[in-house]
Structure 1
């Protein structure tokens, strides 16, 4: 009964979405967005800038974040709030939207019923998402046994997609599980890479914003993911002894950088000399990875991007069994696709940091290449902006 009520509550959304299909749409208008509507960064930022340079298109960025709105206007970009009159107008008029998560997350989806959706996605990794993940509405809709409920649930589910849809893949292997994930055919999954990784191979204006300490120190970066959207996240101080770690880093001239997920819990101690928390900073994650010597992560997809640099990775899956049970299933066996030492305690973590930073012990170089080639095909292990722009212009907008 509760499931049916939750579907009924979504009826107005379905109706407005269907009505939006009647809106006349122009191929000359492209709406961009990303990062759950919260920030101007990632894959879509670079595509937006590329298309802005092409005067043949009216390019508009849509955001749900006041700070992003203000910052982008100061940069003289064409940007509107998703619920503003102009924001609604351009969402109703654009024939194409380019985004990084979903039209539900990045825009006001009820105005996008007739669009062609280009989803750059925001990272390829281990975690199952969307229709492949049993905790999601989409998965439940597909597997609902009651035909009437399934029909209405699928009507709701379709409001998360455009009239036509493409999702950018990164390899043949990734493209094998993307159809299950996004409910698309192989022809809708072009292997075009992640344009945000272009900064690994060339200088970017974003390099100028990097703290000098990060550029010129021996850097170890910890980038953990969330647990069930923060519901199962432990206090980070119960995972890492920051005072002790700071002493070790100071003694050995190591800069430890902390980039926490937005759902992370706990406040780290103040007055730490060699630990830098950039979690609230505007720094692009890819720029941070570019200047990282050793990465520490758990289940985050950041490590697959970092593999393109072939630098050491320490995996810190201190709660793997619980994570698999309550937070996320995985596409791959964890041990088979994580090329680096696995540690589950703080003392083990410190030992591996010392192995890499003080003793230059690295036994996983070849294994990193093996796993890199699983997630990234050879043709996208290089700058891909032109490849993506050409595809959009020649295959979609022409």
Structure 2
């Protein structure tokens, strides 16, 4: 090990000591050791030679096989000149993909580590820390498809994150050294996929990339809206053949501010309305949600534990009910009614997430904060789905440029081949 590298590691250790000021001695020591190891490995991984045709894919926080990166993986692995490997933190995902004949490995397995170290390009839907082992990706190119086009501030734009706090730290010394830790959440060169000029305007701050590395190429996962595939059959016929209201809420500060669902819904009255109008009300809750949906009502069904693709659920929904979730911006591509149940908006903005936009400016549908008004607006949407149509189109054009309001898979594949792999 040369002298410069030793000096570099010593500086990083000093940084970690300075950053770890609010922990008890033992926890502080563990944190210092962990950060020192991660930063050192991330730095050293840059020296590993990269294979020009090797692409590592991952997504869904390393836990699933769906979304933008799934479709890119399936398409690009058809090209014989490319070596496409899926990396996961989930044993079942790896086993499932291996059974189908695909290359897939656990993130900490010997082959998983090898492919991460050698990959020229990594394609992912969350951060490289969430989807892979970030320590091994310091020398790669990152192509972040992201996993939603929504309102909530994240990463470098969110005041609660480590990245934001370091980048806005008043102490120049902590800010300088802290930047080394922040950089371990990125690869050597980083790109992020956007959907419109409005969205692109806040992505450099959010993802800590230059404006030229924000690519307005759309969301591949939405291609399923515009064509029929075998995947459609994964949604049961009893959903596909019915009139559906889909309830898809987001979390409140990772479950810390959740309200029991039974306190904000009168399921008896809701079921009565659905029976009268011939709808079923499907609940697809966030994993941090609180309370149990009663199972005694025939037209209200909780499908939260089912492994249905969210985009396909949206495709077969006639009305979407949400709150602050990004799912509604995708749903606007279908031009169907959206309702916003914002019963805790003030608390959400104060304690959970800030937003890039004024909530009332970019939510094209009724916004209600109590159940009686929700029931009234649901009935209105059932009877007149064209209400708010012009407003839906206006907001759609904010979040999705015209050229990204259709299928986008092939143009993303073309960009990757022509600009990132050559």
Check whether TM > 0.5: yes
Query: What's the counterpart of residue 230 of structure 2?
Result: 205
Indicate yes or no: 2:106 matched with 1:81: yes
Query: What's the counterpart of residue 186 of structure 2?
Result: 161
Q: Distance in 2 between matches of 1:207 and 1:137?
A: 40
Indicate yes or no: 2:384 matched with 1:363: no
Give CA-to-partner distance per residue, 1:228-259, whole Å, 9 cap, x none. 01111111122222243223322321111111
Number of residues of Structure 1 aligned to a counterpart in Structure 2: 397
Question: Is contact 2:143–2:192 with CA below 8 Å preserved after alignment?
Answer: yes
SS of 2:307's partner is coil
Indicate yes or no: 2:294 matched with 1:284: no
Matching residue within 140, 143, 149 for 1:124? 149
Give 1:1-398 correspondences, 5 Å limit: 3-4=20-21, 8-9=32-33, 10-357=35-382, 359-360=383-384, 362-398=386-422
For structure 1, which segment, 211-220 or 246-255, has the greater mean C-alpha deviation from structure 2 after superposition? 246-255
SS of 1:134's partner is coil
Alpha-carbon offset, residue 281 of structure 1: 1.6
Alpha-carbon offset, residue 147 of structure 1: 1.8
Runs (5+) with no aligned partner, structure 1: none
Provide TM-score, normalisation by structure 1.
0.97
SS of 2:52's partner is strand
Question: Is contact 1:33–1:100 with CA below 8 Å preserved after alignment?
Answer: yes
Runs (5+) with no aligned partner, structure 2: 1-17
4+ aligned runs moved over 6 Å, structure 1 = none
Question: Is contact 2:337–2:387 with CA below 8 Å preserved after alignment?
Answer: no
SS of 1:256's partner is strand
Higher CA-based Rg: 2
Question: Is contact 1:243–1:269 with CA below 8 Å preserved after alignment?
Answer: no
Q: Distance in 2 between matches of 1:39 and 1:17?
A: 25
Question: Is contact 2:19–2:174 with CA below 8 Å preserved after alignment?
Answer: no
Provide TM-score, normalisation by structure 2.
0.91
Question: Is contact 2:58–2:87 with CA below 8 Å preserved after alignment?
Answer: yes
Alpha-carbon offset, residue 379 of structure 1: 0.6
Alpha-carbon offset, residue 72 of structure 1: 2.1
Alpha-carbon offset, residue 93 of structure 1: 1.0
SS of 1:190's partner is strand
Give CA-to-partner distance per residue, 1:319-371, whole Å, 9 cap, x none. 000000001111100000000001111121111111121x2264310010000
CA 1:331–1:237 in 2, change beyond 3 Å: closer, same or farther? same
Question: Is contact 1:206–1:284 with CA below 8 Å preserved after alignment?
Answer: no
